Amino acid sequence: MSEKKSNKPIVVLVVVAVVVVLFFAAGPFYVVEEGEQAVVVRFGEIVSEETEAGLKIRTPLVDDVRRYPQRIQSWDGDPNVVPTAEGQFIHIDATARWRIAEPAKFYAAVTTMEQAFGRLDDLLDAAVRRVITENRFEEAVRSSNLILERTGEEQLLAEAEAAIQDADLEEEPDDVMGEIQEIMRPETEQREIERGRRRLAEEMRESVSDSVEQIGAELIDIVIREVRYDEDLTESVYERMVSERNQEAEYFRSLGEGQKERILGEVEYERERILSEARGEAARIRGQADEEASRSYAGAYGESTDGFYDFYRSISSYDQTLANIGKTLTTDMDYFRFLHDVDGAR
């Protein structure tokens, strides 16, 4: 009897030791790492949530610990073909950043990260499509209207206006400038925006922010990563752009041809004027020279006492006329007097 009593404490110690070993073997402690958060679930019911890193305690064999990342997560949507407000089909590729804000609510709503991404796919894809469909293509491309501040275009219009004012065109200058601006207006209107790319992304975020909060998450932002035309429409878009540029180039080319013809006409007129003045001046100088020569001849003839000047003129005339005469029938005339008598001039 005494031996049984002496063994009882030992048995109790052994049982306690076994229970303690089983208790620690079951894992009453767990660690929440940095960048993690956890939810403790007991028989499907949320017992607690842990958002701070460190050593934590749970009820072994009863409590289940679900761990979730605390860091910011990235969502990458699939590129979608979406129609814009003008009916143009474009490819939109968007991305987003989000994080788990309320682990307990997140567990109750979606439980796993895979299910969370599936829910985000539905919410964010729908938001992207809705906002893009309600706006023009330019709104999704640009974030400001700085592209409208184009000094080159303003200078081109100013030069065109100056050329039109100088040109002698049948149309009124204001009408011509109106046609030029009409040609260039589609390009300008295409790039004017009211909201812009950043604002559209913010509208997407605002439209689904409440729905994302319902699953215990926080949507930080949405970014439109890529916007491009649908491949089926790319060729027609290029052709339209080329046609517009060719039309604009042809108009300015014809404007330049008109300026060229006007300048050539002015040059030709100035040339004829200068040549006419030069011919008149040359004729006047020749007339003065002939007059001076005649005066000199007359003076020389009047001062000649021995008839030398008359003799010289006659001999010069013989040289020009007799060389072309094949036969001479008579020289009995006053014209040939110097052939018979050198003193005929006296």
For residues 170 and 266, the model is more confident at: 266
* DSSP H helices in the chain: 2-25, 103-109, 113-133, 137-141, 151-166, 173-191, 197-213, 231-303, 308-321, 337-340
Amino acid 223: pLDDT: 92
Question: Are the beta carbons of 217 and 205 closer than 8 angstroms?
Answer: no
pTM for this entry:
0.52
Average pLDDT estimate for 112-120: 93
Question: By C-alpha distance, which of 80, 77, 87 is closest to 233?
Answer: 87
Amino acid 255: pLDDT: 83
- Report how far apart, in Å, the C-alpha atoms of 174 and of each of 158, 159, 252 are: 13, 14, 15
State the pLDDT confidence band at 25, using cuts at 50, 70 and 90: low
Residue 334 has pLDDT above 80, yes or no: no
Residue 44 has pLDDT above 70, yes or no: yes
- In one letter, which amino acid is 222? I
Q: pLDDT of 61-85, one tens digit each?
A: 788 888 999 999 999 988 888 888 8
Average pLDDT estimate for 270-275: 90
Query: Which of 139-143, 146-150, 201-205 has the highest mean predicted lDDT (pLDDT)?
Result: 201-205
Q: pLDDT of 291-303, one tens digit each?
A: 887 777 666 666 5
User: DSSP states of 293-346 as a string?
Assistant: HHHHHHHHHHH-SSSHHHHHHHHHHHHHHGGG-S------SGGGHHHH-GGGG-
State the pLDDT confidence band at 15, using cuts at 50, 70 and 90: low
Q: pLDDT of 137-147, one tens digit each?
A: 888 877 777 65
Number of other residues whose CB lies within 10 A of the CB of residue 240 = 12
